[in-house]
Chain A
Amino acid sequence: MSEIPQSLFWILIFPGFLFTVVLGLVASWIVRKTSALVQWRVGPPLYQPFVDVMKLMGKEILIPQDAQRTVFLAAPIVGLAGVLLLSTMLWRITIDPTRPFVGDIIVAIYLMVLPSLALILGSSASASPHAAVGASREMKLVMSYELPLVLAFVVVIIKTGGQISLAAIAGHVPVFSVSGILAFLVALLCVQAKLGFVPFDIAESDTEVASGVIIEYSGALLAIWKIMQAMMLVALPLFLVMVFLGGFGTAGWPLVWGIGKYVLVLVLLILIKNTNPRLRIDQAMKFFWGYCGLTLAIAVILAAMGNFYHIGWL
């Protein structure tokens, strides 16, 4: 009977909701502070993301007159649930890799789509023309980056000899090979798009569609979106670390290494964010399907050849 309170503790406190939210808000502070330093500014204090969420919790919630109320209210919670499950799963596998089945790479890919789907649903339900433009852009963006992302994971699955369990994949370091590094770079760009960071912030660009997909959200509902984005800032780089860079340890040097890898991925994301202008949606689509698709086709062939002829570095 102690199974249920134990699972609830995992999901709600550690390593699920509370832990990931705190970590995510700190990560979002790092993003803002680093962007400020790049622009020769001082930047916000450490508690800024926490205060932002707190303030939004205390504000009035406005629901547009023509909105589809149920979907409008449920969408942020669906998105949060998806990313919460994803982060809990990843942390559980990290902490206890010998546990029989927590989830594999396919479950993770499904859960990673959920926040984007929730954003599309919520913004379509809000009856705002700006949100409709944002939703259509988000939809196209999801369609463009999902294919390269899945292909990048296919490369990893080939490299690891057909493993789909995350615990088994985390034992390999596929990035130390030609196909692995190509797949890692493309997956990094896909994660950039998933997080809505600058070259791919097409769906919520402030200057064009006035924060697009989340334009009609206010108060606590907006706070849930912010928390969701903060948690994705933990879960998605963590997922990349587990799949490509050999995962996290739980104690001693492997833990320090793990944190180093996470910070490396985060810094790469921030640098891409700060040195690029926003793309148009057609440019993003061409980029993901054309260049990234081609790169990954080569990577898949290289990985398969390397597997067949037993050449490790391919």
Chain B
Amino acid sequence: MNWKIWSLKKSPWVFHVNAGACNNCDIEIVDLLTPKFDVERFGIKLVGSPRQADALLVTGVGTRQAAKRLQEVYRQTPKPCVVFAIGACACGTGIFSNGYHVVGPVDRIIKEIDPNAIIAYVPGCPPKPEAMISGVVKALSAL
């Protein structure tokens, strides 16, 4: 296996992007980083800057205001990187579909600037922290 991909799987650093979420998924993400779930076992670490991230945890439906920022953050992330659409809204706009302010879902916004982006979906409203860990593991083993 390619050493770059192998090491990426062993130490995915994540950056949390809120693209217009109701804060519920954000709370679950913060839960994920508490000592109870201890994701540092897998080398997962929350970083403060997209330039140091390997995975973007995107929550929210992708509003008109947030879409441009999301694309900018995606451009600032060094490749190879993975985008995780966390929650029903990020996966498919959820109950906000057809809203006047919605341009999402997240995968469409990302694919506008990079058609080959690697996107993983973790559905749920909000998804459990266990579901997120499972999603991250599945996405990384598919790389």
Contacts and interface: CB of A to CB of B under 8 A. Distances in A.
Contact of B8 (A41, A55, A209): A55
A206 interface: yes
Given A43-B38, A55-B8, A59-B79, 17 more contacts: A32-B40, A36-B40, A42-B41, A51-B7, A51-B10, A51-B11, A52-B11, A55-B54, A59-B78, A62-B76, A206-B47, A210-B48, A210-B49, A215-B48, A215-B51, A218-B52, A222-B52
Contacts of B43: 44-45, 48, 51-52
The 5 closest A-B pairs by CB, nearest first: A210-B48, A58-B4, A55-B7, A60-B78, A211-B48
A61 interface: yes
Interface string A37-53: 00111111101100110
A310 B8 CA distance: 61
5 contacts: A45-B41, A55-B8, A62-B76, A62-B78, A206-B48
A217 B52 contact: yes
Interface string B47-65: 1110110100000000000
Interface in A59-102: 59-62
Nearest to B47: A211
A306 interface: no
A146 interface: no
A42 to B, nearest CB: 5
Contacts of B11: 48, 51-52, 55
A41 B7 contact: no
Given A210-B49, A211-B49, A218 B7 contact: no
Interface residues of A, number: 33
Given A41-B35, A210-B48, A218-B52, A59 B80 contact: yes
Interface of B: 3-4, 7-8, 10-11, 35, 38, 40-41, 43, 46-49, 51-52, 54, 76, 78-80
Interface string A4-45: 000000000000000000000000000010001001111111
A44 B41 contact: yes
A60 B41 contact: no
Contacts of B47: 206, 211
A219 B78 contact: yes
A297 B35 CA distance: 43
Contacts of A59: 4, 54, 78-80
Interface in A143-175: none
A138 interface: no
A130 B49 CA distance: 10
Contacts of A40: 35
A272 to B, nearest CB: 20
A217 B4 contact: no
A209 B52 CA distance: 14
Contacts of A130: 49
A47 B9 CA distance: 13
A58 B10 CA distance: 13
